[in-house]
Amino acid sequence: MIPAARRALLSVLAALLALGAGVAAASEPAVDLFPRAASGYIVAINGKPRWARAPDSPRAPASLTKVLTALVLLEHDWQPHAEIVVGQRAGRASGARLGLRTGERAYAVELLEAMLVASANDACLALAEASAGSALAFVERMNQRAASLGMTASHFEDPCGFDQPHQVTTPNDLLRLTEVALSHPAFAQAIAQARGEVHTLGGRKLSYTTSNLLLGRLEGAQGVKTGQTSNAGRCLIGLVTRGTTQVIIVLLDAPDRWWTAAVLIEEAFRAAKSG
């Protein structure tokens, strides 16, 4: 090729590169474009990881655990209108809770929604114990399912995400888990709700609102799960869909998770638009 033509070609290439500056090609490994976003994070655009920090480093999952809890519940003889009796341990659950009392009964589907939308620990424990007989037995199912999903760096010891010494997961594992959970209509429907009610069979009405501040504030936000414990810090799995583009973000230990999520999501859609 003659030099003039080669220079012209280089100029065109440079121009194309400049237009795509800061945007990794889809086939490239995810880069850490936002080092201060979180101790561990991953941003996936239409299923392809785009940016990440420590995506395979294990960290405490907090209530993001409940995504797996929901998946295991939905895949083990799920009966939405089964009457769930609130056990003693569930009735005493701490942290975010509906206010269920020991011995009260409620429908499984309403408890599942409260667990996912408001991160209600009493609803979570009641469902886990009712499904497997005990929280311990339920955790065993969770770990089996995690293994079958290829969540090789994850281990669970509590069905609702309370800190435990060896309870860990990774951004990559949570991304994989979320994608599978979203294939269940009951899960996808539940996480998109901003508020709801549990009606106990004894006649009490327990109202709750979502713990996900993105819902209703960020265009296309469809929820998924929040989490926060001492070990885990502030965590979030977020799902946002605009047109044909779907963005999933996983943040583990993100000091300003809502602002961070909003920035990362907007950047992701900008990147998706520019190709």
Partner 1 sequence: MIALVIRLLPAMLALALSASLAAAAQPKEPGDLWEVVNEMSMAGMPVGMQMPQRPPQKICRARNSDQPPVGDNDGRCEMYDVHRSASSFAWKMRCQGNPPSTGSGEMTYEGRDSYKGTINMAVGSQQMTMKLAGKRIGECDATESKRQVAAVQQRAAAAQQQASDAFAAMCKGAVDTMMSQSLRPDAGYKCDAKYKGDFCSRLQTPEGFAIVAPRKPAQIAGLQSGDLKEASEFCGVNGDEIRVRLCQRAEQQESLDFLASSCLGHARTGGTPSAKADSFGSTIVARECAGRTFSSPPAQQYRSFCSAAARQNLMQPVTADASNPGATVADKPEEKKDDTTARAKKMLKDIFNR
Two tokens, residue 158: 């509590």
Nearer to partner 1 by Cβ, of 194 and 201: the residue is 194
Any contact of residue 170 with partner 1 (CB under 8 A)? no
Nearer to partner 1 by Cβ, of 137 and 263: the residue is 263
**x-or-dash string of contact with partner 1, 191-230, rule CB under 8 A:** --------------------x-x---x--------xxxxx
Nearer to partner 1 by Cβ, of 160 and 248: the residue is 160
Interatomic CA distance for residues 115 and 97, integer angstroms: 9
Smallest distance, Å, CB 176 to partner 1? Answer: 21
Phi-psi region of 152 (alpha: psi -120 to 50; beta: other; left: phi over 0): alpha
Interface with partner 1 (CB under 8 A), residue from 72, 118, 128, 130: 118
Binding segment for partner 1 (CB under 8 A), chosen from 70-78, 80-88, 93-101, 187-195, is: 93-101
Rg, C-alpha atoms of the chain = 21
**x-or-dash string of contact with partner 1, 49-88, rule CB under 8 A:** -------------xx-x-----------------------
Sign of CA dihedral 112, 115, 117, 118: positive
Q: Which runs of E-coded beta strand occur in the chain?
A: 40-45, 48-53, 83-85, 105-107, 195-199, 205-209, 221-229, 233-242, 245-252
